[in-house]
Chains A and B, each alone.
Chain A
Amino acid sequence: MRRDLVLRVASKFILPPIMLFALYVQFHGDYGPGGGFQAGVIAAAAIILYGLVNGLARAQKMVPQALLEVLMPSGVLIYAAVGVAGLMTGENYLGYDHLAHDAVHGQEWGVFLVEAGVFLTVFSSMIAIFYAFAGRRRS
């Protein structure tokens, strides 16, 4: 694969802001548009851009396939486990009221954790789809 200097330098400048923006979207989801799904896609886009410019092998060195296969179920597991935490604290499933000292903070914590789970699963699924397509060889 030919390495284009302009693309490589430009992507180096762009990648950190993309990651930062993903975090902004993740944590601003409480107050404005955003949340785990969108943030996961944006963060995955950063890795995919890196893979497009520097090649699949380098991207897989940074985010290995095995890691993705752990992250995908882990995200859902976090979501489901937060639901069970609701059960354990005497609420219904996915009830967050008792997760902190009062109901408002409980809800905040609940949504925060659930969104973190969503982020992990969406982030890793997006990259896994990219790897699956990019890894195909023409027969």
Chain B
Amino acid sequence: MIAVHGPVLVVILPLFGALVAALVRRPLLAWAVSLIAAIGSFVVAVALLVQVRAEGVVSYRIGGWAPEIGIEYRVDAVNGLILVLVTAIAVLTLVYARRSVLSEIIPERIAWFYAMLMLCLTGLLGMAVTGDAFNVFVFLEISSLSTYVLIALGRDRRALVAAYQYLIVGTIGATFYVIGVGLLYLATGTLNLGLIVERLPEIASPRALIAAEAFIVVGIALKLALFPLHAWLPNAYAYAPSSATVFLASTATKVAVYLLARYIFGVFGVHLGIGSVAIASVLIVLSLAAMFIASAAAVFQNDIKRLLAFSSVAQVGYITLGLALANQSGITGAFLHIVNHALMKGAAFMAVGAIIYRSGTCKLDELSGIGRTMPVTAAALTIAGLGLIGVPGTSGFISKYYLVLGAFEAGFWWVALLIVASSVIAVLYVGRMMEVIWFREPNQRCRGLGEAPAEMLAPMVVLAGMTIWFGLDAELPASLAGAAAHVLLGARP
């Protein structure tokens, strides 16, 4: 069953989880159903990745229709990795979510929360697994609409404004994407990504293609919060419920990055420029701007969730920089950082969620000395922070090492220099957190607090542990990311 129907099972398991969670309406039951569905999806995703590594591409036809007229699901080394990452984060988030959600969301809405979380997972997995340009749009909308609801469920009234802001921006992004897909369809007569690539060389006038590329790249860039289009992200992450933030920060932007990589390498080929400005150089400039400006903005935040959100914008900059370098090491670095950043940001937001669970606040100036009362949580936050800086021994170092290598290979030694320089800013914002939570005397609020419950600590420790593990022994993630980079570069027309 898994061997034949894997590509569709990985998507419909969370879909059924969402529907059953919405029907049962009991908080605990909805949580259990979601967890089972997510675990099932994770198992299928791992099986798919193993199958892909053994046999190459796995193709699946929905409804038995041929790719020309139907929808094809296509799993290769690139999206196989993304599927495993997203489902693994989903499982850990759900384990973590039960306690956190109970304290942050009113009981009547808890089942809806899980239904939306699972719908979001469905959408993200669908975007990753499908080989059909329009089907991507459908799943993009599924994940976006559920994300708006997830953010709006936050405990603060400002969550509604944040959700609305993201709704406007997200809708513009999705519209741009679908206009681009329309232009591609007009030029090639097919929506299947593989067939589009085959028919591209026959197109006489590249003007429609250039417009399509511009629309699609800008549309996806809004979703992945590429630097000047990132304004929705800090509020959305800051005011969403803690467990929703964990899930979104670790997965949503990552799937959008995957999509960007798929389009610029798999479909357009990175050298097809927009006018005289090659898309790669635009991406490099924007990525560098993200790394510096968003990191600098993070230094001045008082709300830890906002601080980490700005750091996310900066870290996405590293990933897109790796893609823009467009060589084996650069793209390997980008995909390594997709995985590593998901792990460490997941751990960091879980730690913040645990701090909110115990203390009710995530304002930095109210949390002095929290490390002495919640040592495990603070330690996880510290490890994640070190990973964000890229300290040797954490996974962040490995991905940055590959990025620097990629920059040298591409002949941009100054980019390599800037990668190192921007890490110094990360030292500032991580250092500020560390100083407050470890080195200050505990204040009144933090003195009486206990450590977070074990079921919240466990997934956090797993993610922090993997950040260390992948920093010391990077063979597994590096080989997976390397294979993904190989496929992307080989697929370039």
Contact = CB atoms under 8 A, between A and B. Distances in A.
Contact of B63 (A69, A76, A80, A86): A86
A92 B60 contact: yes
A91 B64 contact: yes
Interface residues of B, number: 18
Contacts of A80: 12, 15-16, 19
Contacts of B63: 86, 91-96
B64 A73 contact: no
A95 B61 CA distance: 9
A72 interface: yes
B8 A73 contact: no
Interface string A61-79: 0000000011011101100
Contacts of A94: 62-63
B5 A70 contact: no
A96 B63 CA distance: 7
A69 B112 CA distance: 10
Nearest to B24: A73
Nearest to B119: A76
A3 B60 CA distance: 58
B23 interface: yes
Q: Chain B CB within 10 Å — which of A72, A77, A91 has the most?
A: A77
Q: For the complex, would chain B's binding face be called helix, strand, loop or mixed by DSSP majority?
A: helix
A83 interface: yes
Interface string B34-68: 00000000000000000000000000111110000
B19 A93 contact: no
A83 B61 CA distance: 13
A93 B5 CA distance: 8
B5 A73 contact: no
A15 interface: no
Nearest to A83: B12
A120 B60 CA distance: 29
B22 A72 contact: yes
A115 interface: no
Candidate in A91, A92, A97 with the most chain B CB atoms within 10 angstroms? A92
Contacts of B19: 73, 76-77, 80
B115 interface: yes
A93 B115 contact: no
B22 A73 contact: yes
Interface string B134-175: 000000000000000000000000000000000000000000
B62 A92 contact: yes
B121 to A, nearest CB: 15
A77 B115 CA distance: 13
A70 B64 contact: no
Contacts of B8: 87, 92-93
A73 B22 CA distance: 7
A97 B64 CA distance: 9
B75 to A, nearest CB: 14
Given A73-B19, A80-B19, A95 B64 contact: yes
Nearest to B21: A73
Contacts of A74: 23
A95 B4 CA distance: 14
B23 A70 contact: yes
Contacts of B61: 92
A95 B5 CA distance: 12
Nearest to A78: B19
Contacts of B62: 92-94
Contacts of A69: 22, 25
Nearest to A91: B64
A73 B25 CA distance: 11
A84 B64 CA distance: 13
A95 to B, nearest CB: 4
The interface centre, meaning the residue of A76, A94, A96 with most chain B CB atoms within 10 A of its CB, is A94
Interface string B3-23: 001001000100110111011
B117 to A, nearest CB: 14
A10 to B, nearest CB: 37
Contact of A84 (B12, B20, B115): B12
A87 B2 CA distance: 11
Nearest to B73: A93
B12 A73 contact: no
B64 A77 contact: no
22 contacts: A69-B22, A73-B19, A73-B22, A74-B23, A76-B15, A77-B19, A80-B16, A80-B19, A83-B12, A84-B12, A86-B63, A87-B5, A91-B64, A92-B8, A92-B62, A92-B63, A93-B5, A93-B63, A94-B62, A94-B63, A95-B64, A96-B63
Interface of A: 69-70, 72-74, 76-77, 80, 83-84, 86-87, 91-97
Given A95-B64, A97-B64, 5 more contacts: A74-B23, A77-B19, A80-B15, A83-B12, A93-B8
